[in-house]
Chains A and B, each alone.
Chain A
Amino acid sequence: MSYLIAIVEDDADQRSNYCAAIENKGFETAAYPNRAAALEGIRERQPDLAVLDIILESEVDGGFMLCRDLLAQNPELPVIFLTERVDEIDKISGLRLGAWDYQPKPISATFLAERVASLLRLKEVRAAPETTKSNAKRVGDLTLNESSMQAAWKGERVDLTLTEFRLLAHLLRIPGEAVTYDSLMQSTIQSYVTSNTINTHMRNIRKKFRQLDSEFDCIKNEYGFGYRWAK
């Protein structure tokens, strides 16, 4: 069965470019220019994954609103946000809408397509029976499941976005060793990332861990270099 990817983007050129790149991966696409059209289309046929622009025509938060509606209908729906404003990232994580990932514009269409593919794989893995999730990596109290892209701290699931999970996984390739900003940037598979962005992500990851365990202090700054996972 072919997956249906819903693309909501008000700019026609970008929309068609996304469609082209995703369809090239062998997925079906349904593209909508605004929230109303998207809601209507989605009611007719549920997509397997949604790529949402945040600003939709006159609605500044159109993407967010749409995301809420979609997740209400289908809580397991993977959502990727696209945004032209980096500071929106904070808002997304702050809103905790349940988006799986977000990508700042300009994005690479190839990356987007790959990301869509990997999220769909992830969805399959997560939906699969427990046994398939066995290839989990354990580092101290942390459990990292690379195939389902899920992390757990002392047995409790930590709700990370895809980018956050990638960063954490990268940090834990060799636990205890410092990882440079540069290599962390590479791991996000985003076209344009600064050490600032990494810092922001790291702070958000820390916050998420600390919500579970206020004593959490495993992610260490290596000033002028990057980060280190300390046991």
Chain B
Amino acid sequence: MASKKFRGPKLSTKLLMLGLVLLVIPYLGIQSLIAMKNFLLKGQEQAQLLTAEGIATLLYGRDELFNDMPSSIDGYEELPIYPLDTNIQLDAFDDEWRAYGLTRKSTTYRGSGIFFELVFGEREGYIYGLLQVNDSTPVNRDPTLLRLNQSDHVRLYFRDEQGNDQRVQIVWEGSGVTTSYYVDERWRNYLGDGLPDTSIKGYIQRSSDSYTLEFRVPLDLISGRQLGLEVADAHSPQERQINARFGTFKTLEDNPYSQMVMRSPRLQDLLDGISTTNSRVWIIDRDYRVRASSGELEKDRELNELKGPTNNNVTLREVWRALRSWMTDRIIGMPEGEIQDYDPRLTTSREELVLRNALNAESGIQKRQSLDGKSTIITAAHPIRSNSGVIGAVLLEQSTHQILGLQSEALERVATLTLISLLAVIITLLSFSARLAWRIRRLGQEASMSIDDYGRLRGLSIARDLRAGDEIGDLARNIKLALEKLNQHQGFLANIPRTLRHEINNPLNTISTSLDNLEREALAGDDKNPYLASARRGLQRISILVGKLADAANLEEVLDTEEMFEFDLAAMLSSYVQNQQKLSPNQPLQLHLSEPSVMIHGSDMHIEQLLDKLLDNARDFSELNEPILINLLVIKNQCELQVINKGPMLERNDIPNLFQIMHSKRHDKTPGHFGLGLYVARIIAEHHGGTIKAENLADGSGPCFRVRLPMS
């Protein structure tokens, strides 16, 4: 019986949706991680400030460490002297200098551009310089000429300790070692005995259109920390006239010096002795100049690599790695790769708010983005004091990578645990719900299988889940109990006709035999009593009713004991229809057989009974003189018997009930009809492993009954 279908989320879907509540765990985990991160960052800030303070305390009152370089003087250009971290070989190759940017100076002479590029560095008491000049007219020194300004040369200006101006000219006779001379103010003649100065060394490499000069000057010579460099270009080897000069300073007329900005070697030595991990220390003087630096910001955090990648789960590993990198990037905001920030070799000055505050005797902490904008760097600044006041500041910088790394690892763990637990929970829920749903479905199937389409017990009962202790077990037991009660009730109902016959037949027999005796006595009086006849008719009807009911009720039992054998349904049908036609010629019958022979396995007597019932039914509803059609078709391994009559259509709602016992739609209440015919037909069809169906013909001309029986 088709029932309305209710569609909604399945049990497992509902449970899974509930399981999603577990997602709140990773959310809470992340929240606590963020709180932990903030706490750790605070701690780091404090630790940094403390370290900075410690270093500042170490430098307390060490004015002399800062005094090796005069304060910035207005009008002086600053000349950065970078700290060099490798030894420089004077060979006019720029390989050691590549990390440092060269400063370019240029001028125009006779319509053609002339420029030089220059960089200075300091290492172990020497100032090194690299100079590259584009000069298409090389004029080397002619050793036969006494005067020094008759060729291309480089001029150095500096002040010594006493504040005296010193001039050194570097000249060459071609590629190779250069010669340096202290010269007079007009840069014409050397001073003293004319011997070249050996403390200033240089090496030049000439090509047709340029030369590269690498040189060094002892730092002690330039104790005034003021230096100037000028390139002088001679016009041609013929006219050895200097016609272009340009230098590191603005104009020679103003001042030939630039203010050297460089580290304090002693301060640097001192600082190198303080080891700091994962942090960078800067010592800044009052002029914001970097005087020393040490340490490194934490390099990129090495994601702890999974060891020994094996071939079979490389993809899984890669997926995991990608997931981790996505998590660290998106959730924590920690980029992979090296932090791009101030390069201690190239940075000569720092000027930040926290630093300004520190130089104003106020320590502080500042968070800033690294120069590449990807990482966060915490800067702690603490003033260095002396009796005279603040002499500088200590900057201690540290990236947040360590903490972010910790957070990232924690997050990974949270994510992994969440993932695993979520998976476990989902699998558990899924299997649990699947099992639950399966059990319920199985119970439902068993329950529905126990009852046939007509609401009768099939004899099967609930077998599963009876011992289960849970609600489904209860349900199963309840259903079993209900089915058993139903079975008892059904047995009682099924027995009613038999009991009824037994109980009614005896009194009927009394009435019947009494009527006989009465009749006999009446006959003796020779007058036929009409009441006796009507009483006999009534008796007849009751006994027919009881008999038919009992027959129908017993039918299944009788069928069970019936012998089944093979016979030809087609042959039987043709004989049957012929005979029926003979018996009632007024009702035309039309038989159509699709096959000449249709063998079935069954009881011919009962198939005949089935035909009787269907034909009786068709006759009762058939229009006058309209033939009843009887068709026998073969469909695959089944045969279909159709009985079609022209007449009133079946009521749609009534169709499912047509084959129920005691269901009659006859309005005329013809005596002898108790709604057993179609019930009997169904029982017989089903006993033969077949089905019976009733439907209205599409053209609306009447009903059609179809009996399908399996063929042998």
Contacts and interface: CB of A to CB of B under 8 A. Distances in A.
Interface of A: 11, 13-14, 17-18, 20-21, 24, 82, 84-87, 105-110, 112, 178, 180, 191-192, 194-196, 199, 203, 221-226
A109 B605 CA distance: 32
Interface string B64-79: 0000000000000000
17 contacts: A84-B505, A85-B502, A85-B550, A105-B505, A105-B512, A106-B505, A106-B511, A106-B539, A106-B543, A108-B513, A192-B540, A199-B605, A222-B575, A223-B573, A223-B579, A223-B611, A224-B583
B465 interface: no
Contacts of A84: 501-502, 505-506, 509
Contacts of A226: 579
Given A192-B544, A194-B547, A18 B575 contact: no
Interface in B562-603: 572-573, 575-580, 582-583
A191 B512 contact: yes
A157 B615 CA distance: 40
A194 to B, nearest CB: 7
A110 B502 contact: no
B544 A107 contact: no
A191 B513 CA distance: 11
A191 B511 CA distance: 13
B686 interface: no
Contacts of B513: 14, 17-18, 21, 106-109, 112
**Which 4 A-B residue pairs are closest in the complex by CB-CB distance?**
A225-B579, A17-B513, A109-B516, A84-B505
Nearest to B558: A87
B367 to A, nearest CB: 103
A226 B55 CA distance: 128
A195 B576 CA distance: 14
Contacts of B572: 223
B528 interface: no
Size band of the B side of the interface? 35 or more
A224 B577 contact: yes
Given A180-B583, A223-B572, A17 B554 contact: no
A202 to B, nearest CB: 9
B579 A86 contact: no
B427 to A, nearest CB: 61
Given A109-B512, A196-B551, A224-B577, 13 more contacts: A14-B506, A18-B513, A20-B517, A21-B513, A84-B501, A85-B501, A86-B550, A106-B512, A106-B543, A191-B540, A203-B605, A223-B575, A225-B579
Of the candidates A14, A82, A222, A224, the one having the most CB atoms from chain B within 10 angstroms of its own CB is A224
Contacts of A221: 604-605, 608
B516 A106 contact: no
A105 B547 CA distance: 10
B551 A194 contact: yes
A19 to B, nearest CB: 10
A192 B576 CA distance: 24
Nearest to A220: B575
Interface string B548-559: 101100100010
Contacts of A11: 506, 509-510
A229 to B, nearest CB: 16
A224 B509 contact: no
Contacts of B10: none
A18 B516 CA distance: 10
A107 B512 contact: yes
A224 B612 contact: yes
B435 interface: no
A224 B611 contact: yes
B268 interface: no
Contacts of B510: 11, 13-14, 17
B551 A86 contact: yes
B506 A105 contact: yes
A58 B608 CA distance: 39
Contacts of B543: 106, 191-192
B516 A110 contact: yes
Given A109-B512, A192-B544, A225 B580 contact: yes
B609 interface: yes
A110 B520 contact: yes
Contacts of B580: 224-225
A87 B554 contact: yes
Nearest to A192: B543
Contacts of B517: 17, 20-21, 24, 109
A25 to B, nearest CB: 10
A196 B502 contact: no
B190 to A, nearest CB: 150
A11 B550 CA distance: 22
B579 A196 contact: no
B657 interface: no
Contacts of A194: 547-548, 551
Of the candidates B498, B543, B551, B605, the one having the most CB atoms from chain A within 10 angstroms of its own CB is B605
Interface in B220-247: none
Contacts of B576: 223-225
Contacts of A108: 512-513, 516
Interface in B493-515: 498, 501-502, 505-506, 508-514
A24 B524 CA distance: 12
A225 B583 contact: yes
B163 to A, nearest CB: 146
A38 B459 CA distance: 43
Given A17-B516, A203-B605, A225 B582 contact: yes
Given A223-B604, A224-B580, A107 B509 contact: yes
